[in-house]
């Protein structure tokens, strides 16, 4: 199997820079996810790796070998297209067999792989249908089966599950993950869905405006964001204005010692809703204490969201398994505690100042 390295990749459409300067190092067999807002260049990056368009500069290296000069069809890189790109003139089975025929595999092998791939995407029984007779989600799955069937050295998937219902999406993402593990295919996966990204990825790359914001494991991306953009884009994050001065962090009227924070100036204090503590709950170690009032309670079943207005600004707290009296708190004053261990500080340029305490 194959690792992928990308150095200094840049790409423009005429005079619009779409990819600024991308560096990636993806290990063999890794499931690597690109996560970012619409229009940030994810599709462009995949198409450049696949070789459908040429980068303006930078290198693409697979298994230690530069592939920039190889034509797309010699790269052995499978791709699942965002708009499916299912061949409308071929049946479902012919679509899936298409790439296998190019590899002149024996007929029996082709048949068994087609059957296997179709079963994987839950399309067995549809072999002889034409794409025009299938739903959007089914067409998307044809594209998925077609790319998986050739067992490429590198598999690129551009939002392969975007058109499926929530249940099928979860089932298929687990299946994709299992097959990918079993075959050890290095995979780059694009999605908008953060939960999906967190669930399946070995590592996630958060992109914004053609730049890499942060690369890390799902845990690192969620718990130890290195850039404000990544913190805000993945999951929900509260941001409060604060000030660092002489090892003291001031939020609202409250100051706490913050020895790891260096320098002086305004910072943003970030904390996840599930780490915000309400009255009564006890925190280990030091915490920022704020006075506030409960504005709104949203009951979601296994958890409840509290929208709180505090002296420093509005924040959302999440309480797991809420009791009855918690739900009736709307309009009441409350004391809010932000454990320093769970707090992340960002400088005004978006870089992290200190990701919690050791």
Partner 1 sequence: MMRRRFRYDLWTFVLIAAWVILLILLIWPLSSILRASLLDNETGAFSFVHYFQIFTTRVYQRAIGNTLIAGFGGMAGALVLGVTLAFVTTRFHIYGRALIQTLAVVALVSPPFIGAYAWIVLFGASGVVRKGLASIGISIPPLYGMLGVILVFAFKFFPHVFLITSGALSAINRSVEEAAESLGVSPARRLFTVTFPLILPAISASALLTFVLSIADFGTPRIIGRDFNVLATEAFNLYGGEVGGNPGMASALSIVLIILSMIIVFGQRWVLRKNVYHSNLIKKPERQHVGGVKSVGLHVLAYAIVLIGALPAIIVVLFSFRRTSGPVFQPGLSLQSYEKVISTVSDPIWNTLLFSTVAVVAIVITGTLIGYLISRRPNIATGALDATLMIPYVVPGIVMGIAFITRFNDPPLALTGTGLIIIMAVFIRRLPYSARSVAAALKQVGPNLEDAAVSLGYSPGKAFMKVTVPLIVPGILAGALMSFVTAMNELSSSLVLYVGSTITMPVRIYLSVMDGEYGTASALSTILLVMTVVAVYAAFHLSGRKESALL
Ligand X SMILES: Nc1ncnc2c1ncn2[C@@H]1O[C@H](COP(=O)(O)OP(=O)(O)OP(=O)(O)O)[C@@H](O)[C@H]1O
Cβ pair 203, 215 in contact under 8 A: yes
Which of 40, 50, 269, 345 binds partner 1 (CB under 8 A)? It is: 50
Least CB distance to Mg ion at residue 81 (A): 9
Nearer residue to ligand X within complex by CB, 30 or 158: 158
CB-nearer residue toward partner 1: 113 or 342: 113
Query: Among the candidate windows 22-30, 33-41, 61-69, 237-245, which touches ligand X by CB under 6 A?
Result: 33-41
Is the Cβ of residue 210 or residue 216 nearer to ligand X in the bound state?
210
Q: Does 82 bind ligand X (CB under 6 A)?
A: yes
CA-to-CA dists, residue 104 to 74, 87, 100, 166, 314, angstroms: 15, 20, 7, 37, 62
Residue closer to Mg ion by CB (options 138, 191) is: 191
By beta-carbon proximity to partner 1, the closer residue of 54 and 167 is 54
Residue 43 engages ligand X in binding (rule: CB under 6 A): yes
Binding residues for Mg ion, per CB under 5 A? 43, 82
- Give the contacts of 209 (CB within 8 A, at least 6 positions apart): 20, 40, 41
Q: CB of 27 within 8 A of CB of 50?
A: no
Q: How far is it, in rounded angstroms, from Cα 176 to Cα 24?
A: 22
Q: Which residues pair with 71 in a beta bridge?
A: none
- Of 248, 111, 117, 115, residue with least CA distance to 179: 117
CB 148 within 8 Å of CB 117: yes
Q: Which two tokens stand for residue 321?
A: 């398994």
Q: Which of residues 29-48 bind partner 1 (CB under 8 A)?
A: 47
Residue 219 site contact among Mg ion, ligand X, partner 1, none (CB < 5 to 8 Å, cut-off depends on kind): none
Does 44 participate in binding ligand X (rule CB under 6 A)? yes
Q: Does 104 bind ligand X (CB under 6 A)?
A: no
The residues that touch ligand X, with contacts defined as CB under 6 A, are: 13, 16, 18, 38-44, 82
């Amino acid at each position: 199997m194959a690792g992928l390295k990308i150095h200094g990749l840049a790409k423009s459409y005429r005079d619009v820079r779409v990819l600024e300067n991308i560096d990636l190092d993806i290990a063999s067999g890794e499931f690597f996810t690109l996560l970012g807002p619409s229009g940030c260049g994810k599709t462009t990056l995949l198409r450049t790796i696949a070789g459908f368009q040429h980068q303006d500069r930078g290198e693409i290296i697979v298994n230690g070998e530069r592939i920039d000069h190889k034509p797309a069809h010699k790269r052995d890189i499978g791709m699942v297209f965002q708009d499916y790109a299912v061949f409308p003139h071929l049946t479902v089975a012919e679509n899936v067999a298409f790439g296998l025929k190019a590899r002149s595999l024996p007929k029996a092998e082709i048949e068994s792989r087609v059957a296997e791939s179709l079963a994987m995407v839950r399309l067995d029984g549809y072999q002889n249908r034409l794409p025009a007779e299938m739903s959007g989600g089914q067409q998307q799955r044809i594209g998925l089966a077609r790319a998986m069937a050739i067992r490429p050295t590198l598999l690129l998937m551009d939002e392969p599950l975007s058109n499926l219902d929530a249940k099928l999406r979860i089932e298929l993402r687990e299946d994709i993950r299992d097959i990918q593990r079993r075959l050890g295919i290095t995979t780059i996966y694009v999605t908008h869905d953060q939960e999906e990204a967190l669930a399946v990825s070995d590592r996630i790359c958060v992109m914004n405006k053609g730049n890499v914001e942060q690369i890390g494991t799902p845990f690192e991306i969620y718990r130890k964001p290195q850039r404000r953009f990544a913190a805000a884009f993945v999951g929900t994050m509260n941001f409060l204005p604060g000030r660092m001065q002489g090892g003291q962090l001031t939020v609202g009227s409250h100051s706490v010692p913050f020895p790891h924070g260096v320098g002086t100036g305004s910072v943003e204090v970030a904390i996840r809703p599930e780490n915000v503590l309400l009255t009564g709950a006890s925190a280990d170690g030091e915490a920022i204490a704020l006075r506030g009032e409960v504005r709104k309670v949203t009951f979601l079943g296994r958890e409840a969201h509290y929208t709180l207005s505090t002296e420093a600004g509005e924040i959302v707290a999440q309480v797991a398994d809420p009791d009855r009296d918690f739900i009736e708190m709307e309009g009441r004053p409350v004391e809010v505690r932000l454990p320093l261990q769970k707090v992340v500080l960002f400088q005004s340029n978006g870089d992290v100042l200190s990701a919690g305490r050791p």
